[in-house]
Structure 1
Amino acid sequence: MATGNAGSMTQRHPVIIAMAAGLIAGAAASASDRLLDRLVSERQKRRDRLVREAPAHQAAGPHFAAKIAGRKLNRKEKECARAAFGVLYGLGWGAIHGGLRRRFPVLSRWGGLPFALPFFFACDGVIAPALGVSPGLNRVPWQPSVKEMGNHIAWTLVAELVHRVVGKER
């Protein structure tokens, strides 16, 4: 039961704060994606589309929703699936990030960079290819990969900021 001040709430609800941090970080990563996309050349974008329909974070929701539905999705359903996946991704990775940064404080240093880089390689290099959402990093052109790494850095930086502001820590 919270007493009303932010300090006691963070002590009693760290998972809620972590999940909120993940959602806020997801919104920031979406903005980062739009900004960084401008730096990817048209040639690299064309090469990227030859190996995958979309980056893993954009393809995952429709990929899983189509499997659940047992059919191809229309455009509106794909948009809803992307949004739902974005929320679940933010909540899930927010909780994971929050737990890991508490257990291993070094992960929160330098704006979370020690978490961001393994986070990118885990998501884009291992999890997405293993689940059939995206090809391995060796098949994705370098500029889109660097853009995705930048998005993971932005996500982690914002999640760290939320923890530091709301959690009054580190």
Structure 2
Amino acid sequence: MTSENLLKGALCGFVAGVAATIAKTVWEDYFPVRDEDTDTPPAIIAQRITERTLSDKEKDRASMGIHVTFGVGTGVLYGVSGEVVPEITSGLGAPFGLGFYALTHGSVVPALDLEPWPTEVKPAYAVNEFAGHFVYALTLEAVRRGMRRYVV
């Protein structure tokens, strides 16, 4: 494993992270994961950090900024990890999607009181959130894999 391969993995993961974040965002436009008047976990984080009530416009900006940063950052980490442990990319990224969901909206996000536990929301919202992580992961792996073929 060379540092050059890690850099290539990071580059592919960055681009794949952008694409996957867009895909999950579009998914949630069609398959909502919460009521429109419910704050997103990133909006709640932003309010906690600023220690004040944010306007709707500020919440939207903060939410998008945190969401994109997290999604793209995860893509970079995934791309680098795939260079070190290629098995992470198996199953077109579906196992990663399951783990990603389990470590975020399935556990840590509700434990930090950023949203209710999956069993405490409308079943359709829980299913949409769960499926959205597979949309993210499959897009992440498809783009990463496609790019990695050409970044030699």
Query: RMSD of the alignment, in Å?
Result: 2.3
3-state SS of paired residue (2:104)? helix
- 38, 51, 54: which one aligns with 1:53: 38
Question: In the TM superposition, what whole-angstrom CA distance separates every residue of 1:80-132 from its partner, at most 9, and x where no partner exists?
Answer: 01110122112221123223333443332232111111111211111201222
Q: Report the equivalent of 1:113.
A: 94
Question: In the TM superposition, what whole-angstrom CA distance separates every residue of 1:122-162 from its partner, at most 9, and x where no partner exists?
Answer: 11111201222112222123221111111111111111111
3-state SS of paired residue (1:13)? helix
Q: Report the equivalent of 2:147.
A: 166
Q: Report the equivalent of 1:19.
A: 14
3-state SS of paired residue (1:168)? helix
- Check 1:12–1:128 CA distance in 2 against 1; reply closer, same or farther (3 A cut): closer
CA distance in 2, matches of 1:19, 1:92: 7
TM-score (norm 2): 0.82
Q: Tell me which amino acid in the other structure corresponds to 1:18.
A: G
Q: Report the equivalent of 2:62.
A: 81
CA distance in 2, matches of 1:163, 1:150: 20
3-state SS of paired residue (1:146)? helix
1:66–1:72: 8 Å Cα contact kept in structure 2?
A: yes
The 5 Å alignment of 1:95-134 reads 95-134=76-115
Moved more, 86-95 or 73-82: 86-95
CA distance in 1, matches of 2:123, 2:27: 17
Please tell me whether Structure 1 or Structure 2 has the larger radius of gyration of its CA atoms.
Answer: 1
What displacement does 1:32 show? 1.5
Q: Tell me which amino acid in the other structure corresponds to 1:25.
A: A
Q: Report the equivalent of 2:135.
A: 154
CA distance in 2, matches of 1:66, 1:110: 38
Question: In the TM superposition, what whole-angstrom CA distance separates every residue of 1:6-33 from its partner, at most 9, and x where no partner exists?
Answer: xxx8664321321221121000111112
3-state SS of paired residue (2:48)? helix
Moved more, 154-163 or 11-20: 11-20
The percentage of aligned residue pairs carrying the same residue is 25
The 5 Å alignment of 1:30-45 reads 30-37=25-32
CA distance in 2, matches of 1:71, 1:16: 37
Gaps of 5+ in 1: 1-8, 38-44
- Check 1:103–1:13 CA distance in 2 against 1; reply closer, same or farther (3 A cut): closer
